[in-house]
A and B are shown apart, each in its own frame.
Chain A
């Protein structure tokens, strides 16, 4: 016992010393104010900071110039790592961890559960009913045990505004914001009313007022954030420079007011003001961004006749139903469906997320599920001859048997994991039920009420998940229970063996290249050996060729091509391609295949052997997978026209004479970033890997955890995997896939530099050590943001390991590179 006591004391001393050591590395930033601006590209800010207002002789963005150009540090080559889309991008910026949320909307392939990370209204309603504490993105992060930057500060020491990764809500912001719509006197109110009351600004404006007030009157608050989407909205709607500049001037004024408030506050010396954005925007004056309707394509016969699910209402602004704020799953019925006509409610076959609009993630129902569904329909139909029916029944069981081993394994694992989740949910429910319903003012001040609701909300999600997955597992079990000898098609209800709404397993590359969409024109056809001729019996779609072949006839803008789709990217399981790769090309992660055309394709290969990540770009052609899962391709000599177009890009920072050599070799991530970041596709090579690769959710193997906890972790990893789409479709320059309405002003979501280049600027008081007038030329990406802020605050060490306090709050090592220039300059 005595030894244990000494040990504890020693540990405590060591922790204190370690914390002290970390603090000593800090640069004296004790308070941060983070201005989060959605969709603000640095290059755009830079252009206008340099432009002079003829009336004042000053910059048209005087506060950006004053605060960050004169008195701070900016990182002009700062990029989104992954898609240039708010949900994923803020996820990285807020957590500092590898990408887990892959879109603004995600779907679970098994349960059709939709994660809608952008819709505030259901959250407000549930928050009002005390059934939710946090926005959906935050709930997923909690399930994944990934804290956000604000979590590094005690509840009472932080002020956060309305945003995607939002913890808790403050009704006072909404209420005060509404009250402040009245400017104080009737005449001004009439003017404001005549101009149109700015309801969109209600919460944003109040958040600003709160921050300005609290900066001076609430000394104890160490963390503020302010979130504004006005610039992003203006850019989507309008390509006119003046409109966007007006929005940007609005941001500039906010920065001015916050900066002045900081300077007038008692903690000015130790406060840092930081501006950060999640992505850029592809918007160009005199070029309208053109929309291409992928929903219509997928619903067409050529596209497979899919009933398509979206989480955004099509033509929202033109629909009376569009006023309904809770936005259920929108199922677009295909009149060209080959075998599911009129069944869009029960059996949608494509899930479609297009947010950002320069990209689209598509889940297609597993092609084998389609085959089983079609064959079941056929054998239940009395019109087939017995010969054909027998062949179809054989084919049905062959298909089931082909998947039997995997489905049986999946079922076993899901059952085990769900069992653990169910036990956890039930045990938590007991605790949740015991939580107090009323709280004292002190408890409210510490956010204890919100913590209780959070627990309740997560518990309810767990219960719902258990039920939804249980339903899927039951139908899969029914399917596996079908036995050839006792099979009677008439007794089988399709919905009992194929879960309505479920997409099943992800499609393999072979399936995407040979997707079964329906029965062929001639119906089921037999081979000479009386077996079903699967090749001739079904309509098949090669989605890569289909998407590549899309053209429009109205080609009216000189800078816009008539091909809406740039390329399609998918992840290929390493095991299916490893043997085809030369040993020197073998990666350690699943390769990413980019399909530009049949002859212009590329593989992105990544090795992470403990000594840092290395990437290789491999030009290939004719890549295909056969039905046994073997992938083949032809090696190609690099030349112009391959996806991402690095080779021919003038901004590729490798001498022309050396490009063939350079591109045939492995390079470290930092070398790639330095070489390509100014090209048209910038860091797309890294971004595509980040976007499509499954990153381990948990940092360790769970040593020390209970068996149930380990199983729940495995289940969380499974859920993330099930949210991964089959296809990532990228739009060509100035094209978009918005079907909710029209975004002629501009869009983002792609890997174009114009869309990924975002903003990261810092300035601070005397003690913060943040350099003045520094422009860091070295490129960085969004993984660098959190570790840089925390390093400035002395909360992580040189190896990006969090201090004891942060570790206790669930923080883990940050994989991103700190912007060392900010630290070095101070030293």
Chain B
């Protein structure tokens, strides 16, 4: 039911001429993909610095709240670019991407990372006044920072794996992969 709905949605996106034109445009598609990858330096780069500060690995002599608040804007600019270019990449190749097991895992990890980030900031704002100048954040926030790094490692890896066709629907797959990837058509 869900897989059928997603497949229909992908086919509907695929019916737009702009989707085909974007996919077939050598320069446009590659520029969008390059921007998606290069914006990692801004989004993930800032996220790494914030998480590493919480773990006591860098800038330990600067208040944690200052690092989190001042680097938040450049990080969000980076994530905005990633989301826009990511949506465009999906729009360019909707049917294959919808049926990619890697894309599906990436999407779940993205949701988990977003929830973790929301909880992290909530906890940070509640407690930061008591430990702001400490070199390390309290244990719970350190776990959240570590989880954030792990989730993003997973997101980058699954994002990279989308390019590989090992589990594509046109190949003979196990029943589980066929279900998990939502294979409806080759």
Chain A complexes with chain B: no
Binding site for A on B (CB under 8 A): none
